[in-house]
Amino acid sequence: MPLRTRTLPAAALLCAGALLTGCGAGTDAQAPPAVTDAKPGDAPGRPEAQTVPVADISGLGPRTMAEIPADSRQVLVVTGEGRDSSASAVALHVRDPEKGWQRTAGPWTAHNALRGWTEEHREGDLRSPIGVFGLTGAGGLLPDPGTALPYDQGPEFTISGRGFEGEPLDGSFDYVVAIDYNREPGTSPLDRARPMGGERGGGIWIHVDHGGPTQGCVSLSLEHMRELLRALDPGLHPVVVMGDARTLRR
């Protein structure tokens, strides 16, 4: 059943950009010092890693493929141009029991975080987390476009201000899909729980592109967000595989 819009405390009715620092930022914000990436580790909310016993997905190496859960038959791949790049491409794949992995949508152009990617995401580092994460909740300012995911609609998804390149952020949260990085799977994208602690960041979403880098999210055009929401199938246990191209080829 879709999630119903809930009445939140007054503090939660501020723009989502202030609530969820993984997404859009104003140009007046001071960027924190660069972060040195640590070795990857297991993270709450990340699906259990198992080997997928079918043909590999193009662009993903054996180590990355091994992190995809065996029961996941739908994979969204976000491939960054470089470790420090905010440009990326997104493609959706479905696993056919006879033919293996088949690309069913994309590649679509996308943005990720201003400073690129990291395997040890920290609050405010302006990098998107690398890894394999579940896709179990969606929402937005606009009505449900026809997704099978639980969908939370409401004014809490309003955002204003300008991004890193001076572009307006209005409409960025018209549609969002929550990435299960440091959050409770299956809850509303607005859920504030952070199993790994607040210092590890959170509020990492796939949302509508505003024409520039994000604070940590992945952004797609409005048209492609609608297409993605309609394609994601909870029965296929969808996950997102995200990172820079070199890391994903491992």
The amino acid at residue 85 is S
Query: 189 is written with which tokens?
Result: 């994208």
Q: What is the pLDDT of residue 214?
A: 98
Q: Which residues contact 245 (CB under 8 A, 6 or more apart)?
A: 59, 79, 80, 81, 82
The answer to whether 163 and 212 have CB atoms below 8 angstroms apart is yes
Average pLDDT for the chain:
85
Q: What is the pLDDT of residue 22?
A: 56
DSSP output for 157-207 = G---SB-TTS-B-TTTTSSEEEE-SSS-TTS-TT----TT-GGG----EEE
Q: What is the pLDDT of residue 15?
A: 37
- C-alpha to C-alpha distances, 94 to 89, 97, 105, 151, nearest whole angstrom: 17, 10, 9, 22
Compute how many other C-beta atoms are within 10 angstroms of the C-beta atom of residue 112.
29
Q: What is the pLDDT of residue 56?
A: 85
Taking the model in full, what pTM does it have? 0.82
Which is more confident, 187 or 16?
A: 187
How much of the chain, in percent, has pLDDT values that exceed 70? 78
What is the arithmetic mean of pLDDT over 53-76?
91
Task: Work out the pLDDT band at 92, boundaries 50, 70, 90.
Answer: very high
The lowest-confidence range among 43-52, 100-109, 143-152, 217-226 is 43-52
How much of the chain, in percent, has pLDDT values that exceed 90? 76
What is the arithmetic mean of pLDDT over 18-44?
42
The lowest-confidence range among 55-64, 140-149, 156-165, 235-244 is 55-64
